């Protein structure tokens, strides 16, 4: 039986998800795309999970699409390229964007190569921490392609339009420090697991419903008019005012105690 392409380990409220093709620098093939979707679904269904840490096994986060493997079956490419009519995403896009759609925050920890599909997966996460010497690139330009695994949506909200055009048109390779300066990366550290864990600990100290609603609020209002954004705010705030975990947070704050939250109830 082949090794799983994606590993999932749940430790209390934190799910660790690892790309698991280290011998291929975690190059993405069709099997990995499918397992990314399946793994995200498992995380979504586990309401005890309150944050996800996404990383790569071995010497790289992800060196991009494994062209040799993917191109070996043209019929599979065609099927995988057709979008689902309900979500408007094909398999390539959904495998990355599904992490942005999760009702819990996703933190990518990046080392080594973060190219092409790897960059698009990392930018679909809510936060990214990188080693200073990690290599980031919208590498599709090298192959005469465009970013097509949700990169259009994630890249434009992280960097300015001119930077997005430059990276997409040139395939320029950035180290982690430069990627941070441009806004691609949330933080840089020799051991990026440390700031990632610190952020996760700060997040899981809050109500899981409030965190999920905050992510939903920012996702849903990203391109909304002020009127539409205010309507979404009102609906989500009403849901939080009525939430059991909000009452737990309020009572704990009054008593100056650490809240003992229940499972996440908000978000599918």
pLDDT in tens, 155-209: 999 999 999 999 999 999 999 999 999 999 999 999 999 999 999 999 999 999 9
Which of 167, 184, 203 finishes a domain?
203
pLDDT for the residue numbered 244: 97
pTM: 0.94
Number of domains in the chain: 2
In a domain, 213, yes or no: yes
Asked if 196 and 211 sit in the same domain, the reply is: no
Same domain for 39 and 159? yes
Q: What distances in angstroms separate CA 179 from CA 27, 148, 203, 207, one per listed residue? A: 21, 20, 24, 31
The boundaries of the domain holding residue 68 are 6-203
Q: Which CATH number fits the domain that encloses residue 188? A: 3.90.226.10
Pair (131, 251) in one structural domain: no
Q: For the stretch 109-145, what's the b/e string if a residue is b when 16 or more beta carbons lie within 10 angstroms of its beta carbon?
A: bbbbbbbbbbbbbbbbbbbbbbbeebbbbbbbbeeee
Same domain, 44 and 62: yes
Residues in the chain, pLDDT under 70: 1
User: Which of 188, 203, 218 is the endpoint of a domain?
Assistant: 203
Burial class (CB in 10 A: 0-12, 13-18, 19+), 153: middle
What is the distance between the alpha carbons of residues 254 and 260, in angstroms, rounded to a whole number? 14
Question: What pLDDT, on the 0 to 100 scale, is given for residue 238?
Answer: 97
Residue 123, domain member (yes or no): yes
From 186, 203, 220, give the residue that closes a domain: 203
Using a 10 angstrom Cβ sphere, with 0-12 exposed, 13-18 middle and 19 or more buried, the burial of residue 190 is: exposed
Structural contact between residues 170 and 146, judged by C-beta atoms closer than 8 angstroms = no
């Amino acid at each position: 039986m082949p090794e799983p392409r994606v590993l999932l380990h749940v430790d209390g409220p934190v799910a660790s998800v690892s790309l698991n093709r280290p011998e291929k620098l975690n190059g993405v093939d069709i099997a990995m795309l499918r397992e990314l979707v399946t793994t995200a679904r498992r995380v979504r269904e586990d309401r005890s999970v309150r944050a996800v840490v996404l990383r790569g096994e071995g010497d790289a986060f992800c060196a991009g699409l494994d062209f040799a493997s993917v191109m070996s079956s043209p019929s599979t490419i065609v099927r995988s390229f057709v979008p689902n009519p309900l979500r408007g995403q094909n398999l390539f896009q959904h495998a990355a964007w599904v992490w942005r759609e999760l009702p819990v925050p996703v933190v990518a920890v990046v080392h080594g190569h973060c190219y092409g599909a790897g960059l698009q997966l990392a930018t679909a996460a809510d936060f990214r921490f990188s080693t200073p010497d990690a290599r980031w690139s919208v590498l599709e330009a090298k192959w005469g392609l465009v970013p097509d695994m949700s990169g259009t949506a994630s890249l434009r909200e992280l960097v300015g339009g001119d930077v997005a055009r430059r990276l997409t048109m040139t395939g320029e390779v950035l180290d982690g420090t430069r990627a941070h300066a441009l806004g691609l990366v949330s933080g840089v550290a020799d051991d990026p697991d440390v700031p990632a864990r610190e952020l996760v600990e700060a997040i899981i100290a809050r109500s899981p419903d409030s965190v999920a609603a905050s992510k939903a609020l920012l996702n849903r209002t990203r391109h909304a008019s002020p009127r539409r954004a205010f309507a979404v705010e009102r609906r989500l705030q009403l849901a939080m005012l009525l939430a059991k975990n909000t009452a737990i947070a309020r009572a704990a704050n009054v008593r100056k105690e650490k809240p003992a939250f229940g499972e996440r109830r908000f978000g599918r």
